[in-house]
Amino acid sequence: MRLQVERFLTRLRAAKNCSPHTLRAYRADLEGFRTKFPGLEASDIDRSHIRRHLAELQSGTSARATVLRKASALRSFVLFLRREGGLSRDPFLGVPLPKRTRCLPKFLTEAEMSEILAAPASAGAGSERDRALIELLYSSGLRRAEVSTLNVGDADFLSGTVRVFGKGSKERIVPVGESALKCLRAYLRSRGGPSDGEPLFTNLRGARISQDGVMFLVRRWIKKSSLLKKVTPHVFRHSFATHLLNHGCDIRVVQEMLGHASLRTTQIYTHVSLDRLRDVYKGAHPRGR
């Protein structure tokens, strides 16, 4: 089965332009299935293998999103085998799949975000970088992987935008607020004006900052504020989308800025904060005033 898995991942890489992160996750998911049934040939996969695998996944400690991803990886692999003629029947036929649940994304209120942005930068090397990174995360709603891969030339200070390569290497142009642009200019000046091909954000050794590095800097910044919440780079992204929609931004514009392929993914952000809910209620209900 190992050879078929490699062929499947090669097809994903070539045909669907999947990100390295997705390919690593699918490889690990399929390897977990393969090692669970040693000696099993791909052509012999049947319902009993699928049912046992899904039952063990759901009885474990993995989050529902992880279980769904593992099931999706296996289902995509099975579909690939059937298209290639390596599997004559669908082993997923009649097998109940776990239900997908939609949880409201964690986000910060505008007051909480202002509190974070007002936190004092740490003294010494990296202080201007940290503030620029924090401002950009909230200003443009970027994923930490997208921030990590930015080059200096991707930031256009004349148009006030940044060119981002998102999931599947899809390119998009995202606006950047004046506050974030000001911090980025100060940070690049402190580096002596790097060339366009150099990384936009670097670590203290001068190398491109990693995704884990972005996470570390966010956590360190949050500790300096008085906010007693767990905040990740993705919480900045959720807050970015929520605040835009709460102020009347068109959902399709938000979809474009976030880089979502489907509007359904963006619709989870159409929840509103409690304050916004109260304001709309008071203004619309005849007995709400």
Which of 196 and 286 is assigned the larger pLDDT?
196
167 is catalytic: yes
User: Which residue in the block uniquely carries the two structure tokens 């970015």?
Assistant: 240
Determine which one of 129, 131, 144, 237 is catalytic: 237
169 and 256 co-located in one domain: yes
117 and 185 co-located in one domain: yes
pLDDT of residue 22: 82
| Structural domains of the chain, count | 2
What the block records as the tokens of 217 is 């800097």
Flag whether 102 is in a domain: no
Determine which one of 47, 75, 234, 271 is catalytic: 234
Whether residue 43 contacts residue 87, with contact meaning beta carbons closer than 8 Å, is answered with yes
189 is catalytic: no
220 and 271 co-located in one domain: yes
187 and 229 co-located in one domain: yes
What span, in angstroms and rounded, lies between the C-alpha atoms of 4 and 98? 26
Convert the pLDDT of each residue in 186-237 to its tens digit: 999 999 989 999 999 999 898 999 999 999 999 999 988 878 788 999 999 9
Is 59's pLDDT higher than 80?
yes
Average pLDDT, the chain: 87
Whether residue 218 contacts residue 236, with contact meaning beta carbons closer than 8 Å, is answered with yes
What span, in angstroms and rounded, lies between the C-alpha atoms of 143 and 159? 21
101 band by pLDDT with thresholds 50, 70 and 90:
low
70 and 188 co-located in one domain: no
66 and 197 co-located in one domain: no
147 and 53 co-located in one domain: no
50 and 116 co-located in one domain: no
Determine which one of 49, 75, 167, 208 is catalytic: 167
The CATH code of the domain that includes 62 is: 1.10.150
pLDDT of residue 14: 79
Determine which one of 70, 131, 243, 260 is catalytic: 260
User: Which structural domain, as residue segments, surrounds residue 275?
Assistant: 110-279
Convert the pLDDT of each residue in 108-117 to its tens digit: 889 999 999 9
Beta strand ranges found along 89-196 (DSSP E): 155-156, 161-165, 171-175
269 is catalytic: yes
Flag whether 90 is in a domain: no
| Helices of type H across 60-177 | 64-83, 110-117, 127-140, 144-149
Query: Taken in order 128, 146, 172, 265, is the CA torsion positive or negative?
Result: negative
The CATH code of the domain that includes 165 is: 1.10.443.10
53 is catalytic: no
Q: 29-43, 44-58, 116-130, 211-225 — which is least confidently predicted?
A: 116-130
Prediction pTM value: 0.73
Is 176's pLDDT higher than 90?
yes
Contacts of 139 (CB under 8 A, 6+ apart): 175, 176, 177, 179, 180, 240
Fill in the amino acid letter for 221.
W
284 band by pLDDT with thresholds 50, 70 and 90:
confident
185 and 247 co-located in one domain: yes
Whether residue 174 contacts residue 136, with contact meaning beta carbons closer than 8 Å, is answered with no
For 181, what's the count of Cα atoms within 13 Å in the CB-facing half-sphere? Answer: 14
Instruction: Name the domain boundary from 45, 64, 83.
Output: 83
Which of 247 and 61 is assigned the larger pLDDT?
247
What the block records as the tokens of 67 is 């279980």
Determine which one of 53, 70, 131, 143 is catalytic: 143
148 and 273 co-located in one domain: yes
246 and 123 co-located in one domain: yes
182 is catalytic: no
Whether residue 196 contacts residue 190, with contact meaning beta carbons closer than 8 Å, is answered with no
219 is catalytic: no
Which residues, in sequence order, are bridge partners of residue 173?
163
Chain-centroid distance of CA 46 in Å reads 34
Terminal Cα distance for the chain, rounded:
67
What the block records as the tokens of 101 is 């649940």
288 band by pLDDT with thresholds 50, 70 and 90:
low
SS3 252: helix
| pLDDT, average across residues 45-70 | 86
Which residues, in sequence order, are bridge partners of residue 165?
171
Contacts of 57 (CB under 8 A, 6+ apart): 67, 70, 71
Contacts of 40 (CB under 8 A, 6+ apart): 1, 34, 49
167 band by pLDDT with thresholds 50, 70 and 90:
confident
Pairing of strands 171-175, 161-165: antiparallel
pLDDT of residue 262: 86
Burial class (CB in 10 A: 0-12, 13-18, 19+), 102: exposed
